[in-house]
Amino acid sequence: MTHHHTTYLVLLFISALYSSHSYSDTSWQLPEFSGLIAGAITQENLPYQQTSSEQHPSLLVFGRLGDVFIEGNRAGTLIKRFEFGSLSALGQLRTHQYLEADNTTLTTKDRARSIEAGFQLSIPLGQGFFSQVSVLQDISNTHKGQEYEAAVYKRFTFQNLRIISTLAAQYQSDELTDYYFGTQNYTAKADLTTELEVLAVYDFNQDWSAVAMWRFYQHEDEIKDSPLTKTGHTERVAFGVGYQF
């Protein structure tokens, strides 16, 4: 993730926070963060040919900054509550799809990480299950495409251990898929990706916690048939220790 992208997203949500308050309220200050911030080691297994597993330090953030919720690479703020659920504005850093041209002889074009924004509708389903429907548009002028996602997740609690499991289907537009997997001789069309995610947090005490995260993306034919790819899936694993604010 580039410094430019990180700064852009931070400024975006600070602006959203500020605009939600009256400009005449000169006493407003940046709200305190409540949640977990963890330093972690992340391993990524990308589907591209001539690439191997990558390990790098990362920062995992889960919590709230005033009215803004932060869930890893996503952040958003509530727009309106309904009897059946809630609607939020959403921002996302697409960090699991990228390719540096220096790492392969199959292309001369970098496939960069992107910043996306859109809306998310959350609906409780009962029995501890929740559904989310999201629409995201590239706002960083990277792939210029869209992603439509439908997800179901459930929380589990076992004394000091908390687990969130998520199953999602992501429809990625022609522009998005072709940017990351197309070549001069291969045009990748819109494709469907299935995501399975498990996030586990174990509390050592009221201040410190261990965090483990696993994300698995199963791609379909448009991505698997690309001359850039060697496999039909992407995988990310992270382990870390964090502080509860």
- pLDDT tens figures, 76-125: 999 999 999 999 999 999 988 998 888 788 888 889 999 999 999 999 99
Instruction: Among 2.60.40, 1.10.260, 3.40.190, 2.40.230, name the CATH number for the domain at 3-244.
Output: 2.40.230
Gap between the Cα atoms of 195 and 183, Å rounded:
25
Name the residue among 203, 199, 200, 198 with its Cα closest to residue 243.
Answer: 203
Query: What does the buried/exposed string (b/e) look like for 168-198 if buried means 16 or more CB atoms within 10 Å of the residue's CB?
Result: bebebbbbbbbbbbbeeeeebebbbbebebe
Give the DSSP H or E segment for 62: strand 54-65
Residue 7 pLDDT more than 90? no
Q: 185-227: per-residue pLDDT in tens?
A: 999 999 999 999 999 999 999 999 999 999 999 999 999 999 9
Whether residue 96 contacts residue 236, with contact meaning beta carbons closer than 8 Å, is answered with yes
pLDDT digits (tens, 9 = 90+) for 142-166: 999 999 999 999 999 999 999 999 9
| pLDDT value for 93 | 94
Structure tokens at 244: 């509860």
Mean of the per-residue pLDDT values for the chain?
90
What's the pLDDT score for residue 245? 93
* Residue, of 4 and 159, whose pLDDT is higher: 159
The pLDDT value given to residue 25: 54
User: Domain extents for the chain?
Assistant: 3-244
- The average pLDDT across 62-74 equals 93
